[in-house]
């Protein structure tokens, strides 16, 4: 309940999102642009044009949960995208770095053992 774990799949929507959108509007983006199943338990991440606001949408048993963060100063650094893709899959650790304002590109990931549950994730 109200938690994010590394077992979830995270998808960052590449397009600019109007932060006035709530559950229904963001759900529409997931279905029409990302072509993902809303009820899958995946976490969908949306950023506004100025990159100072982020919303995370996730289905849990019984309903949707929406997380929203607005920065008072600064911006979120977005990961490098494939220019042709509508979204990119992220790890929870990269999401945390992004939200905390730590440069993802300048950080170095040390080798760790993990079971890759992410299809097409390198």
Confidence of residue 122 (pLDDT cuts 50, 70, 90): very low
Residue 117 clears pLDDT 70, i.e. is over it: no
pLDDT value of residue 113: 76
Determine which helix (DSSP H) or strand (DSSP E) holds 95, and give its type and residue range: helix 92-100
Question: Are the beta carbons of 17 and 33 closer than 8 angstroms?
Answer: no
Given a cut of 50, whether residue 102 has pLDDT beyond it is yes
Pair of tokens at residue 91 = 């790890």
Quick one: pLDDT at residue 115?
66
CA–CA distance, 110 with 47 (Å, rounded to integer): 28
The model's pTM is: 0.85
């Amino acid at each position: 309940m109200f938690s994010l774990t590394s077992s979830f799949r995270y998808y960052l929507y590449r397009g600019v999102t109007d932060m006035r959108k709530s559950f229904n509007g963001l759900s529409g983006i997931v279905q029409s642009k990302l072509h993902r199943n809303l009820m899958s338990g995946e976490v969908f991440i949306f950023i506004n044009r100025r990159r100072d606001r982020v919303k995370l949408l996730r289905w849990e048993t019984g309903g949707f949960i929406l997380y929203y963060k607005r920065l008072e100063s600064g911006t979120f650094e977005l990961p490098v995208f494939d220019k042709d893709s509508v979204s990119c899959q992220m790890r929870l650790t990269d999401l945390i770095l992004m939200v905390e304002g730590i440069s993802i590109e300048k950080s170095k990931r040390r080798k760790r053992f993990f079971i890759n549950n992410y299809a097409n994730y390198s």
